[in-house]
Amino acid sequence: AAKREEAAEVLAQGEMTALARQHLVQPWPVAGEIGAEARGGIRSGEGIYVIDGEGRKLIDGPAGMWCVNAGHRRKELADVLYEQAMELSYNSPWYTMNEPSVTLSARLAGHAPGDLSHVFYTTGGSSAVETALRFMQFANNVRGRPEKKLIVSRQGGYHGSTYLSASLNGRPRDHDWMDSASDQVIKLTCPNPFRRPAGMDEAQFCDMLVEEFRDVIANRGAERIGAFIAEPVMASGGVIVPPYGYLSRMRALCSENDILFIADEVVTAFGRLGSVFASQEVFGIEPDMITFAKGVTSGYFPLGGVMISAQLLEDLRRSNHSEAMFAHGLTYSSHPIGCAVALKNLDILEGGLLAHARDVSDYFQSSLKRLEELPLVGEVRGLGLMACIECVADRVSNNPLTLDLEVGKRIDAHCQELGLLVRPLINMCVMSPPLTIERPQIDTMTDILHTSIRRTMDELVREGLW
């Protein structure tokens, strides 16, 4: 601890800010600030908390970016990082292999639904999604149907920041100023029950969404559509839990039309919804591929991967093109340190953390639901240990607030003063704390949010904006 304090003194908050402005390009910057921006410094972490540059202790409401599932500063994870680095810090995944990646694959296969028995490891979520898509393209080339490559995604979805994965993203800001492979992607309506057309109940809304996919298949041709990709619960799009039956009906349409169903579980896996993978345990579906990242190492090491169906792999082995190479790999595929950390993280999950997450999730959801008594709050929704508070201009029509009000940012600022970090998303706040969170800490979180939203309402009224 003394060493850490010493290091902290070397770079005081002001110096850190100055250096960042001179040398750091932060992710998701706006042009007016690019390369000249400083953000709130975080010094250290401890359990569900992080300590900021001023030494304030904040509940890490979003668990970093939905990833610090086992909580901060866990010695057993840090020890594995060290021990694996001292044993074997790296090996080429091209001509060699390592034990942690093989063992981890077998453990993950044991948790995965259906025949998802194999894993291709990547460096994170974007590269996992990119891998799944390139695998689909490769498989269809090898199987003699090179025209079957269109990818169906949804408005509001988020799948990554590499070219093809980003092309699937369904929020306007992902495309306003960015190029994308839009000719390869078809986007369906966001399955957000809160924003369903007026006069429709949830079951009718679900019918509408499924019919839309059926129409797309009929119009574009099943022979041209290679994959459907979906987050079981849309995360960055505002924690959107689809209507009951939606995922299984979409899965059925994929099966009928030989379209690969890719479940993007980058957020929903590794305990966020109480199970290692949520597709089957929570939603009763068996995808053809599952992409994962984030919680697989609780953020202690960058790692992602794709679970792939044994049948798909066997089809390739039996094809007429045994010479065809899946020319896709990463220097850090099957990284021994990442896989060793993931194994220990899985021990933690299986050893009680999954059960704990399941145990506190109802309390978490019902506690946050209380915020709906505040007139600015249109809906609090979620599942497991992920939730979203969506603010509205008025509760009768649920009109969205003018986006430039950025209410989320205002709420976040008040929350930080009171000891909670939230993830502001325009007019929404997303919460996905470390799974180690306990009931009293959930109470504190809810109380802080309550006060902060009240303060935000007062502020908006004072400024004549609401």
The amino acid at 55: G
x-or-dash string of contact with ligand PMP, 38-77, rule CB under 6 A: ---------------------------x------------
| Residues within window 135-174 making contact with ligand PMP, judged by CB under 6 A | 158-161
Neighbouring residues of 391: CB distance < 8 A, sequence distance ≥ 6: 376, 377, 378, 401, 407, 408, 411, 427, 428, 453
Q: Does 292 participate in binding ligand PMP (rule CB under 6 A)?
A: no
Closer CB to ligand PMP, residue 131 or residue 236?
Answer: 236
Rg (CA), the chain: 22
Of residues 45, 47, 125, 408, which one binds ligand PMP by CB under 6 A? 125
Contact 454, 375 (CB under 8 A): no
Give buried/exposed letters for 128-158 (b at 16+ CB in 10 A, else e): bbbbbbebbbbbbebbeeeebbbbbbbbbbb
Percent helix, strand and coil across the chain, each to the nearest 5: 45, 15, 35
Q: Does 267 participate in binding ligand PMP (rule CB under 6 A)?
A: yes
Of residues 231, 286, 288, 412, which one binds ligand PMP by CB under 6 A? 231
Tokens 């009951």, located at residue: 244
Q: Which stretch binds ligand PMP (CB under 6 A): 1-9, 124-132, 308-316, 455-463?
A: 124-132
Of residues 70, 129, 133, 210, which one binds ligand PMP by CB under 6 A? 129
Least separation in angstroms between residue 311's CB and ligand PMP is 24
Least separation in angstroms between residue 27's CB and ligand PMP is 9
Least separation in angstroms between residue 437's CB and ligand PMP is 20
> How would you classify the pairing of strands 304-309 and 377-383?
unpaired
Closer CB to ligand PMP, residue 287 or residue 367?
Answer: 287
Partners of 399 in the β-ladder: 394
Least separation in angstroms between residue 228's CB and ligand PMP is 15
Of residues 151, 210, 230, 266, which one binds ligand PMP by CB under 6 A? 266
Least separation in angstroms between residue 267's CB and ligand PMP is 5
d(CA 85, CA 79): 10
The amino acid at 71: G
Q: Which residue is nearest to ligand PMP (CB)?
A: 125
Tokens 């921006």, located at residue: 37
Closer CB to ligand PMP, residue 301 or residue 466?
Answer: 301
Closer CB to ligand PMP, residue 101 or residue 161?
Answer: 161
Closer CB to ligand PMP, residue 216 or residue 263?
Answer: 263
Q: Does 121 participate in binding ligand PMP (rule CB under 6 A)?
A: no
Neighbouring residues of 5: CB distance < 8 A, sequence distance ≥ 6: none
Q: Which stretch binds ligand PMP (CB under 6 A): 10-18, 51-59, 261-269, 360-368?
A: 261-269
Q: How far apart, in Å, are the Cα atoms of 326 and each of 138, 139, 140, 177, 313?
A: 6, 9, 12, 32, 11
Least separation in angstroms between residue 159's CB and ligand PMP is 5
Neighbouring residues of 390: CB distance < 8 A, sequence distance ≥ 6: 194, 238, 377, 378, 379, 380, 381, 427, 428
Least separation in angstroms between residue 50's CB and ligand PMP is 18
Is residue 31 packed enough to be buried (19+ CB in 10 Å), middle (13-18) or exposed (0-12)? exposed
Least separation in angstroms between residue 236's CB and ligand PMP is 5
Question: DSSP state, 72?
Answer: B
Q: Does 124 participate in binding ligand PMP (rule CB under 6 A)?
A: yes
Q: What are phi and psi of 264, to 5 degrees?
A: -90, 95
Closer CB to ligand PMP, residue 225 or residue 267?
Answer: 267
Closer CB to ligand PMP, residue 161 or residue 436?
Answer: 161
Of residues 112, 119, 235, 377, which one binds ligand PMP by CB under 6 A? 235
Long-range Cβ contact pairs of 371-376 (< 8 A, separation 24 or more): 371/446, 371/449, 371/450, 371/453, 374/450, 374/453, 374/454, 374/457, 375/457, 376/407, 376/453, 376/456, 376/457, 376/460, 376/466
| Residues within window 167-226 making contact with ligand PMP, judged by CB under 6 A | none
Of residues 119, 164, 254, 293, which one binds ligand PMP by CB under 6 A? 293
Tokens 């369903």, located at residue: 196
Q: Does 385 participate in binding ligand PMP (rule CB under 6 A)?
A: no
| Residues within window 301-330 making contact with ligand PMP, judged by CB under 6 A | 304
Closer CB to ligand PMP, residue 233 or residue 393?
Answer: 233
For ligand PMP, the binding residues (CB under 6 A) are 65, 124-126, 129, 158-161, 231, 235-236, 264, 266-267, 293, 304
